[in-house]
């Protein structure tokens, strides 16, 4: 039995891993993908979550999914699935390329996306064939097409189920080829020996020639992408700029100009939102690390949406925070109720000339303070005042939920400062009530530490504050912990009738 040998193509792998070939990108439907070098010996898979009116993902946001030791030669996306073809190895005398895939699935908290499988790569049928892999494309049915340039010819393979099948090229004598995702199929661009460019669309059984104005531009373009039955391409402009052009029915349209062209960009087209994303890398002066540049362009109106380093979405999603917040409130409320209990018989002291404030005034004061703080915090996070005050920011899938803990913390701190120095917040001042020590004699302010404890319980454990209505003397557990009472001026007794 012949011994099975696997000899990696060492020089090709080193060229990919150490020197780097620049970012590569792909996007079909609402998802996009890119692979670029993160360190000298590692590459990174990133996912571009869906943009558009139904999502709140900001331009420039990417989701780092997985690091790899070897960079793929080419990638192609099939919606939420990413296909990768890796450099060839010689196995039993045959040149074979490993084909793998991952998918983007909704994270368990529904606030973002996660990679599936989380640790491994799904294996596909290995691609046989020598030469360099020039392009990998997926059609609307999930079929993969691989275009290879070999020593004396070009070859096109399609993945059908668990095997690759070689396809017949429509112009065997063409000197150059481009393969592009096109509508629900794929498009081949061929340059004949005379330098004329021809376009062929894959039909049900054969390749059909079609006319596309300005198609000769594709050979010098740093990227060419299909958008429906249009082509989106980059064209080098004057002064080091990059023009984004769309070849559509009878027209060659200039959509946007990037003044400083990205270097060897990987191009991603998010078709659902009609957004073009270009990913490029620029090494630092020492050449040891590379900064990533992301450019996003709205192809609907030509607006530049983003140009800079990408950012990752919030680690803690809104759904996770909602769950943690509810658990914290429930657990904290139970513990507080168990540890802090009213004195037997509800006995407590009130300063001379003061009476316990009724719950309606306390509740009104709390609403004033809540909406006042919300009016200050909400604009900082781009959310609505009512949306923040009612906690509806937690229903948003973006990082707007962060505004809620900021609101609670700001409310607790500012209330503590005002109540420990002036005896009342803005809301309490308007409702003519104040916080004082539970003691007889003149009214005394409460110490800072005790007021802080009271407000932490009040702001972060809302059910505790709501118990004011049913607790003896209308005092919640925060009042008990701080040894204070909320009071209003006692009404003056009526003067006695001198005739009686």
- The secondary structure of 221-288 as a DSSP string is -S-EEEETTEEEEEEE-GGG-EEEEEEETTEEEEEEEESSPPSS-EEEEETTTTEEEEEEEEE-TTSS
Residue in the structure block whose two tokens are 């362009």: 297
Helix (H, G, I), strand (E, B) or coil at 309: coil
β-strand pairing of 266-270 with 251-258: unpaired
6-308 is classed CATH 3.30.70: no
* pLDDT value of residue 493: 65
Where do you find CATH 2.120.10 in the chain?
6-308
CA distance 245 to 356: 73
**Torsion angles phi and psi, residue 415, rounded to 5:** -65, -40
Q: Mention every residue, 6+ apart, whose C-beta is less than 8 A from residue 289.
A: 39, 283
> What's the pLDDT score for residue 99?
95
Q: In this predicted structure, what is the pLDDT of residue 56?
A: 62
Q: What string of DSSP letters covers 198-219?
A: EEEEE-SSSEEEE--TTGGGGG
How distant is the alpha carbon of residue 247 from its chain centre? Answer: 31
Query: Which residue, among 451, 448, 479, 443, has the nearest Cα to 464 in the 3D structure?
Result: 479
> pLDDT tens per residue, the chain (500 residues)?
333 333 333 333 333 333 345 678 887 778 899 998 876 567 889 898 887 655 567 888 888 888 888 889 999 998 889 999 999 999 888 999 999 999 998 876 556 788 888 778 999 999 998 899 999 999 888 889 999 999 889 999 999 889 999 999 999 899 999 999 988 899 999 999 999 999 999 988 899 999 888 888 899 999 999 988 899 999 999 999 999 999 987 788 999 999 999 988 999 998 888 999 999 987 665 555 568 899 999 999 999 999 998 887 655 555 566 667 777 777 777 776 666 666 555 567 889 999 989 888 999 999 999 999 999 999 888 888 988 888 877 766 556 778 888 999 999 999 999 999 999 999 999 999 999 998 888 889 999 999 998 898 888 887 777 776 667 677 877 888 888 999 999 887 655 554 44
Distance (Å, whole) CA 194 – CA 431: 88
Consecutive H or E run containing 35: strand 31-39
Residue pair 57/311 in contact by the 8 Å Cβ criterion: no
CA 25, CA 21: separation in Å to the nearest integer? 12
Q: Can you tell me whether residue 127 is helix, strand or coil?
A: strand
Closest C-alpha to 311, from 64, 62, 114, 67: 62
CA–CA dist 446, 485 (Å, integer): 10
Identify the CA nearest to 175 among candidates 152, 146, 208: 152
3-state helix, strand, coil in the chain (%, to 5): 25, 35, 35
Q: Is 438 exposed, middle or buried (0-12, 13-18, 19+ CB in 10 A)?
A: buried
Q: Which two structure tokens, joined as six digits, stand for 198?
A: 């021809």
Query: How do strand 304-308 and strand 354-356 relate by DSSP bridges?
Result: unpaired
**Is the backbone peptide bond immediately before 454 cis, with ω within 30 degrees of 0?**
no
pLDDT in the model for residue 14: 32
Own/partner pairs, 401-404, CB within 8 angstroms, 24+ separation:
401/317, 401/318, 401/321, 401/322, 402/314, 403/377, 403/378, 404/321, 404/325
């Amino acid at each position: 039995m012949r011994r099975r040998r696997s000899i990696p193509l060492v020089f090709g792998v080193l060229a990919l891993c150490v020197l780097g070939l620049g970012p590569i990108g792909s996007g079909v439907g609402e998802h996009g993908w890119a692979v670029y070098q993160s360190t000298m010996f590692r590459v990174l898979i990133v996912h571009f979550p869906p943009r558009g009116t139904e999502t709140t993902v900001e331009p420039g946001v990417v989701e780092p999914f997985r690091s790899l030791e070897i960079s793929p030669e080419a990638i192609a996306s099939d919606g939420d699935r990413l296909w990768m073809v890796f450099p060839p190895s010689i196995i039993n005398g045959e040149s074979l390329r490993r084909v793998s895939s991952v998918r983007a699935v909704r994270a368990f908290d529904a606030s973002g996306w996660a990679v599936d499988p989380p640790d491994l790569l799904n294996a596909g049928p290995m691609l046989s064939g020598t030469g360099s892999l020039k392009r990998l494309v997926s059609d609307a049915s999930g079929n993969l097409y691989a275009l290879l340039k070999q020593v004396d010819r070009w070859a096109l393979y399609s993945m059908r189920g668990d095997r690759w099948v070689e396809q017949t090229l429509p112009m065997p004598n063409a000197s150059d080829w481009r393969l592009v995702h096109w509508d629900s199929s794929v498009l081949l661009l061929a340059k004949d020996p005379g330098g004329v460019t021809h376009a062929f669309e894959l039909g049900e059984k054969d390749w059909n020639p079609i006319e596309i104005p300005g198609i000769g531009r594709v050979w010098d373009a740093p990227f060419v992408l299909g958008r429906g039955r249009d082509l989106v391409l980059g064209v080098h402009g004057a002064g080091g700029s990059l023009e984004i052009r769309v070849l559509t029915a009878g027209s060659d349209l200039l959509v946007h100009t990037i003044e400083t062209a990205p270097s060897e960009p990987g191009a991603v087209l998010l078709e659902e939102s009609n957004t073009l994303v270009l990913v490029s890398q620029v090494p630092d002066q020492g050449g040891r690390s590379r900064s990533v540049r992301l450019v996003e362009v709205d192809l609907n109106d030509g607006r530049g949406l983003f140009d800079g380093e990408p950012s990752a979405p919030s680690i803690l999603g809104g759904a996770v925070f909602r769950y943690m917040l509810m658990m914290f409130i429930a657990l904290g409320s139970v513990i507080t109720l168990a540890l802090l209990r009213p004195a037997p018989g509800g006995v407590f002291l009130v300063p001379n000339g003061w009476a316990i404030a009724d719950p309606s005034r306390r509740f009104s004061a709390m609403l004033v303070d809540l909406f006042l703080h919300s009016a200050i915090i909400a604009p900082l996070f781009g959310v609505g005042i009512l949306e923040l005050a009612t906690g509806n920011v937690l229903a948003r899938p973006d990082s707007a939920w962060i505004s809620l803990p900021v609101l609670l913390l700001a409310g607790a701190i500012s209330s503590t400062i005002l109540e420990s120095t002036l005896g009342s917040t803005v809301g309490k001042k308007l409702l003519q009530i104040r916080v004082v020590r539970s003691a007889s004699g003149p009214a005394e302010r409460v110490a800072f530490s005790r007021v802080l404890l009271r407000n932490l319980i009040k702001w972060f454990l809302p059910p505790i504050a709501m118990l004011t209505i049913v607790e003896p003397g209308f005092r919640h557990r925060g009042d008990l912990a701080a040894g204070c009472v909320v009071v209003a001026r006692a009404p003056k007794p009526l003067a006695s009738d001198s005739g009686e």
